[in-house]
Chains A and B, each alone.
Chain A
Amino acid sequence: DVKVTQSSRYLVKRTGEKVFLECVQDMDHENMFWYRQDPGLGLRLIYFSYDVKMKEKGDIPEGYSVSREKKERFSLILESASTNQTSMYLCASSLSGTGVNEQFFGPGTRLTVL
Chain B
Amino acid sequence: AQKITQTQPGMFVQEKEAVTLDCTYDTSDQSYGLFWYKQPSSGEMIFLIYQGSYDEQNATEGRYSLNFQKARKSANLVISASQLGDSAMYFCAMREDTTAGNKLTFGGGTRVLVKP
Q: Chain A: residues with CB nearer than 8 A to chain B?
A: 31, 33, 35, 40-45, 48-50, 56, 58, 88, 90, 92, 94-105, 107-108
What B residues does A43 contact at CB under 8 A? Answer: 91, 93, 104, 106
What A residues does B101 contact at CB under 8 A? Answer: 31, 33, 48-50, 56, 96
When the two chains form their complex, are residues B52 and A103 in contact, meaning their CB atoms are under 8 A apart?
no
A57 to chain B, nearest CB (A): 11
When the two chains form their complex, are residues A42 and B91 in contact, meaning their CB atoms are under 8 A apart?
yes
Interface string of B6-42 (1 = CB under 8 A from A): 1001000000000000000000000101010100000
A-B contact pairs, 8 of them (CB 8 A): A33-B104, A41-B108, A42-B4, A58-B103, A90-B45, A96-B101, A101-B102, A103-B104
What B residues does A105 contact at CB under 8 A? Answer: 37, 44-45
A46 to B68, CA, bound (A): 29
**Is B116's beta carbon under 8 Å from chain A?**
no
When the two chains form their complex, are residues B50 and A96 in contact, meaning their CB atoms are under 8 A apart?
no
Known: A42-B109, A98-B33, A100-B50. A107 touches B43 (CB 8 A): yes
Given contacts A103-B35, A107-B43, 18 further A-B contacts (CB under 8 A): A31-B102, A33-B103, A33-B104, A41-B108, A42-B4, A42-B6, A42-B109, A43-B91, A43-B106, A45-B104, A92-B45, A94-B102, A98-B52, A102-B47, A103-B104, A105-B44, A107-B44, A108-B43
What B residues does A48 contact at CB under 8 A? Answer: 101, 103
What B residues does A31 contact at CB under 8 A? Answer: 101-103
A47 to B14, CA, bound (A): 39
When the two chains form their complex, are residues A102 and B50 in contact, meaning their CB atoms are under 8 A apart?
yes
What A residues does B97 contact at CB under 8 A? Answer: 98
A41 to B47, CA, bound (A): 19
